[in-house]
Homo-oligomer: A and B are copies of this chain.
Amino acid sequence: MNPSARDSAPQRQSSQSGRILARLADLGLILPQPAIPVASYIPTRLVGGILYVSGQIPSVEGKLIAQGLVPRDVNLEKARECAVRCVLNALAAAHSTLTDRGGLDAIRSVVRVGCFVACESDFTQHPEVANGASDLLVSIFGDSGRHVRAAVGSSSLPRGAPVEVEVAFEVA
C-alpha cells in the first residue's frame, strides 16, 4: 500500500500499525478514508473517556451503496451490508481522531450502537439489520466489542440511506 496516496486510498494499515487494524485485515476488511465533514458538525467528539461518533451512512468514497426503504427498495441482506459499511465508516472516523493515541488500539470497548433503519410500517426485522453492525464490532474487538443497542425504524434517512449507525466507544 502506498502511503503517499491520500485522497482515495484506504488508510494505512500495515501489520505493525496496530492490533485492531491487523484484526480488520484478518477479516478481509480495509479501513476506508474518513469522510470529510460537510457541515458544522464533526466526525467525532472525545469527552470524559467516551468517543462519540456522528451517525454514519453506508457510503463508499462519498457514494451510498444502496438507497431507499428496507425491504421495499433494499433487501435484508443488502441492508445488513449497509450496517457493516456504516460501522467501517465509524471506525475510520475513530481511527483518524485517535491517531496520537495509537488509533483504533486506543479503544477499550464499544459502549453503544444506535441503528436507524429506513422502512415502512410493517417492517419488523430491525434487529437482523442491526446485527450487521453488532456482529462486526464483536468480530473486531471480541468481548469488549459487545455493546448496548437501540434499533428503530425511520421514515427516511439522509440522502435516502437505508441505514444510519451511530457508535460510542470507550477510550483508554
Chain A: residues with CB nearer than 8 A to chain B?
A: 38-45, 47-50, 52-55, 69, 109, 111-114, 116, 118-127, 130-131, 134-135, 137-138, 145-160, 164, 166, 170
- Contact check: which of B42, B55, B112, B127 meets A151 at CB < 8 Å? B55
In the bound assembly, the distance between CA atoms of A120 and B41 in angstroms comes to 24
Q: Once the chains bind, are A164 and B146 in contact (CB under 8 Å)?
A: no
- Asked whether, in the complex, the Cβ of A40 is within 8 Å of the Cβ of B134, the reply is yes
Copies in the complex: 3
Known: A39-B127, A134-B40, A152-B164. A170 touches B121 (CB 8 A): no
Highest count of chain B CB atoms <10 Å: which of A122, A123, A135, A157: A157
